[in-house]
């Protein structure tokens, strides 16, 4: 079986260069990378990443836990985490918790056994006990976890304010906020706080309707939305706490023969693909998901390098105007 | 540091049982599982999966390559692959190729170095050369790869027939098929064949408009759809080769003041979440994605156990009637 040295000799480069190509670390010209891959193929060389990992007691792997892969927000987040990780030579282990705490604990145990370099947690808050005495950096995205290394979130309060100010500037006088679940102490709760603060500032009539965790887990808000609108048919502006809820609001309004944006103006949250795929398209609050993902990987790297990292890291959001408002 | 034996003794079970709990293999009662986890936590035991993997020269990991994580079809497929893998004690390494051949080759190299148990390839067809002399099972989903172990696909031809027969039964006389890219020899090409065969059988006027790979990679079909409809304003039925294309067709028709299903009846393909989130909802051809994912993991397991597996494995599709037709 060919060795690293054989590959280096045949390719006319140093062993270090071959190692860098394999581990995708440091600068390597495209020409050298290509040459090394060609020789590896020629000699049928298969580097043993396992042996390397065992000697270092760490793999170039980042474990990710999300509640729902198919939820468009998490699909976008995973995609960006994968790109950011690949750019720094990491691969990702992906797990779907479906919001089950015991599944999360098993996954975290598995990540530890597999000596991952870091964990990105986008799922429900796991018992703090489990995360203590952890030598693996744990980055949370849009979750509160006391024992985590860095908590990354977007400025949810600012998002709630931007959405509400936009609806009021469009002339809305009777606002409804379709918020998420509330018993989980999530950063997203601040969206409702921003909504209420702006409504009170302008003296605008407003109401918040919260979802249950059952609805959140099925991702089906239709009946919930219908009831919320029926409870006050005079509503003329809706701030939905996700684009997914906004898309379903468009469907319910179509069924109820309520025109959007004619009779009700609608703003979502997240700016995921679905916001551009509905009819009308959805005005929304854009989370900087790409930047959040890049910082997550960056903070894992910095933690491993024993650099100081912030406990909380908040990124600004922006309003994206489309046809629903 | 606590050993496997310490855990077994304290939990009052055998070492084999502890090992089974850790590797999630074989039947273990929920009570035993809970007890073992409690003791592991108590003793702060961290099994070293790396050492185990090195001694076996294989990890309980399955490598997955998709072209686009955010594409709703692939998001659904990944979610189902993750569940099916987790049920059999495997974890997944996820990679996004963005349709770049050289990125795919690097990922496959990385999977080999990491001694994955199997590879699920849902991305573009990689050079056959790379896959030869492979001792790792490679399962393709909706792709043709001569050197793969098993090719799983849905019955795309049947799907094309079902969609077209449905449009004709709704009274359509002038059909348009918005197909995918054609230069890649993909199983999905058979959707157009089914469409044409049924149109010819019933003597219905028909036309196929293919996408370019540029459009496919940006996932933005809007201008392409507009041109296809403008080229023949008499079209009264559209069969889109994905729900993503169908969702964008709804948007373009709304812009052109064409009512769906009033003036144009529309059928998509895949049955992903987006088909239930548009207004109107999309009548579509349902791919059995859950079953396809379960079979992919099952075939990896059977290959590793040296059982015979089929080269091709085709699952039936079905028509899901919603409001767009």
Q: What does the pLDDT read at residue B80?
A: 96
Sort A185 into a burial class: Cβ within 10 Å, 0-12 / 13-18 / 19+: exposed
CB of B62 closer than 8 Å to CB of B111: no
Q: Which two tokens stand for residue B293?
A: 């994912």
Between the CA atoms of B238, B241, B242 and B243, what dihedral angle is there, to the nearest 10 degrees?
Answer: 20
Least Cα separation, residue B304 to chain A (angstroms)? 19
Q: What does the pLDDT read at residue A155?
A: 97
* Number of CB atoms found within 10 A of residue B231's CB: 11
Contact across the interface for A79 and B69, Cβ inside 8 Å: yes
* Homologous superfamily (CATH) for A59-154+289-317: Response regulator (3.40.50.2300)
Q: Cα dist. B109→A9, A135, A146, B114, B130 in Å?
A: 20, 29, 38, 9, 9
Q: What does the pLDDT read at residue A109?
A: 80
Q: What is the tens place of the pLDDT at every residue in B45-55?
A: 776 666 666 66
Residue of B nearest to A273 (CA): B70
Q: What does the pLDDT read at residue A195?
A: 98
Contact across the interface for A69 and B53, Cβ inside 8 Å: no
Task: Please state, in angstroms and rounded to a whole number, the distance separating the CA atoms of residues B263 and B268.
Answer: 16
Of the candidates B139, B68, B131, B62, the residue with the CA atom closest to the CA atom of residue B97:
B68
CB of B315 closer than 8 Å to CB of B257: no
pLDDT band at A168 (very low <50, low <70, confident <90, very high): very high
* A289: pLDDT strictly greater than 90: yes
Q: Which of B41, B72, B96 sits opposite A82 (nearest CB)?
A: B96
List, in order, residues 6 or more apart from B122 with CB less than 8 Å away.
B64, B65, B66, B67, B74, B77, B140, B141, B142, B143
Residues of chain B short of pLDDT 50, as ranges, are none
Least Cα separation, residue A114 to chain B (angstroms)? 5
Q: What does the pLDDT read at residue A132?
A: 61
Q: What does the pLDDT read at residue A128?
A: 57
Q: A126 touching B, CB under 8 A?
A: no
CB of A122 closer than 8 Å to CB of A67: yes
CB of A302 closer than 8 Å to CB of A264: no
Average pLDDT over residues A111-128: 81
Q: What does the pLDDT read at residue B199?
A: 98
The DSSP line for A159-173 is HHHHHHHHHHHTT--
Q: Do domains A59-154+289-317 and A156-287 have the same CATH topology?
A: yes
Contact across the interface for B50 and A70, Cβ inside 8 Å: no
φ, ψ (nearest 5 deg) of residue A320: -115, 110
Q: Which two tokens stand for residue A41?
A: 């193929």
Average pLDDT over residues A151-160: 97
Task: Please state, in angstroms and rounded to a whole number, the distance separating the CA atoms of residues A9 and A7.
Answer: 6
Of the candidates A323, A319, A251, the residue with the CA atom closest to the CA atom of residue A282:
A323
* A51: pLDDT strictly greater than 70: no
Largest CA distance in chain B: 78
B91: which chain A residues are within 8 Å (Cβ-Cβ)?
Answer: 93, 95, 110, 114
Q: Cα dist. B35→B7, B44, B240 in Å?
A: 10, 14, 53
Domain ranges of chain A: 4-47, 59-154+289-317, 156-287
For chain B positions 178-197, those within 8 Å of chain A (CB to CB) are none
Cα B242 vs. chain centroid, distance in angstroms? Answer: 13
Architecture of domain A156-287: 3-Layer(aba) Sandwich (3.40)
pLDDT band at A125 (very low <50, low <70, confident <90, very high): low
A65 three-state secondary structure: strand
* Number of CB atoms found within 10 A of residue B180's CB: 21
A290: which chain B residues are within 8 Å (Cβ-Cβ)?
Answer: none
Q: What is the tens place of the pLDDT at every residue in A204-259?
A: 999 999 998 888 878 899 999 999 999 998 999 999 999 999 999 999 999 999 99
Contact across the interface for B110 and A48, Cβ inside 8 Å: no
Q: What does the pLDDT read at residue B278?
A: 94
For chain A, percent of residues with pLDDT exceeding 90: 62
What DSSP character marks residue A26? S
Strands (E), chain A: 61-66, 91-96, 118-121, 138-141, 150-154, 174-179, 205-210, 237-240, 265-270, 283-286, 312-315, 318-320
A114 three-state secondary structure: coil
CB of B317 closer than 8 Å to CB of B284: no
List, in order, residues 6 or more apart from A14 with CB less than 8 Å away.
A8
- A280-303 in b/e form (b: 16+ CB < 10 A) is bbbbbbbbbbebbbbbbbbbbbbb
Contact across the interface for A114 and B68, Cβ inside 8 Å: no
Q: What does the pLDDT read at residue B51?
A: 67
List, in order, residues 6 or more apart from B285 with CB less than 8 Å away.
B159, B162, B163, B267, B268, B269, B270, B271, B317, B318, B319, B320
Residue of A nearest to B253 (CA): A279
Q: Cα dist. B268→A69, A158, B299, B324 in Å?
A: 22, 38, 29, 9
Q: B249 touching A, CB under 8 A?
A: no
Q: What does the pLDDT read at residue A107?
A: 85
What CATH number is given for B60-154+289-317 in this structure? 3.40.50.2300
For chain A, percent of residues with pLDDT exceeding 70: 92
Contact across the interface for A279 and B250, Cβ inside 8 Å: yes
Q: What does the pLDDT read at residue B64?
A: 95
User: Which residue bears the tokens 């995609």?
Assistant: A79
What CATH number is given for A4-47 in this structure? 1.10.260.40
Contact across the interface for B105 and A37, Cβ inside 8 Å: yes
Task: Please state, in angstroms and rounded to a whole number, the distance separating the CA atoms of residues B71 and B124.
Answer: 15
Q: A24 touching B, CB under 8 A?
A: yes
ipTM summary value: 0.81
The DSSP line for A225-286 is HHHHHHT-TT--EEEESSHHHHHHHHHHHHHTT--TTTT-EEEEEE--THHHHSSSPPEEEE
Contact across the interface for B277 and A94, Cβ inside 8 Å: no
Task: Report the phi/psi class of residue A44: left, alpha or beta, with left for phi > 0 and alpha for psi in -120 to 50.
Answer: left
Average pLDDT over residues A307-311: 93
Q: Which two tokens stand for residue B125?
A: 């067809």
* Number of CB atoms found within 10 A of residue B55's CB: 10
Q: What does the pLDDT read at residue B240?
A: 98
CB of B122 closer than 8 Å to CB of B65: yes
CB of B63 closer than 8 Å to CB of B91: no
């Amino acid at each position: 079986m060919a060795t690293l040295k054989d590959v280096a000799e045949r390719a006319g480069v140093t062993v270090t260069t071959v190692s860098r190509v394999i581990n995708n670390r440091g600068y390597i010209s495209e020409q050298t990378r290509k040459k090394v891959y060609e020789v590896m193929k020629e000699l049928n060389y298969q580097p043993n990443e396992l042996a390397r990992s065992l000697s270092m007691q760490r793999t170039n792997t980042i474990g990710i836990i999300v509640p729902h892969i198919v939820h468009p927000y998490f699909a976008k987040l995973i995609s960006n985490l994968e790109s950011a990780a690949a750019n720094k030579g990491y691969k990702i282990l992906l797990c779907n918790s479906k919001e089950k705490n015991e599944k999360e604990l098993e996954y975290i145990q598995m990540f530890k056994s597999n000596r991952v370099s870091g964990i990105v947690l986008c799922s429900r808050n796991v018992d703090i006990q489990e995360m203590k005495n952890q030598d693996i950096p744990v980055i949370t995205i849009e979750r509160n976890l006391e024992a985590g290394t860095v908590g990354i979130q977007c400025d949810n309060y600012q998002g709630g304010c931007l959405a509400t100010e936009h609806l009021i500037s469009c002339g809305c006088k009777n606002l409804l906020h379709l918020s998420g679940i509330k018993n989980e102490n999530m950063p997203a709760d601040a969206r409702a706080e921003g909504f209420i603060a702006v409504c009170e500032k302008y003296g605008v009539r407003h109401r918040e309707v919260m979802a249950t965790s059952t609805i959140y887990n099925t991702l089906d808000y239709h009946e919930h939305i219908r009831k919320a609108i029926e409870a006050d048919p005079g509503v003329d502006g809706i701030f939905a706490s996700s684009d997914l809820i906004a898309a379903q609001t468009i469907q319910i309004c179509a069924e109820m023969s309520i025109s959007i944006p004619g009779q009700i103006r609608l703003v979502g949250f997240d700016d995921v693909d679905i916001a551009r795929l509905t009819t009308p398209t959805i005005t929304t609050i854009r989370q900087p998901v790409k930047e959040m993902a890049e910082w997550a990987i960056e903070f894992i790297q910095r933690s491993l390098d024993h650099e100081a990292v912030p406990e909380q890291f908040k990124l600004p959001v922006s309003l994206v105007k489309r046809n629903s408002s």
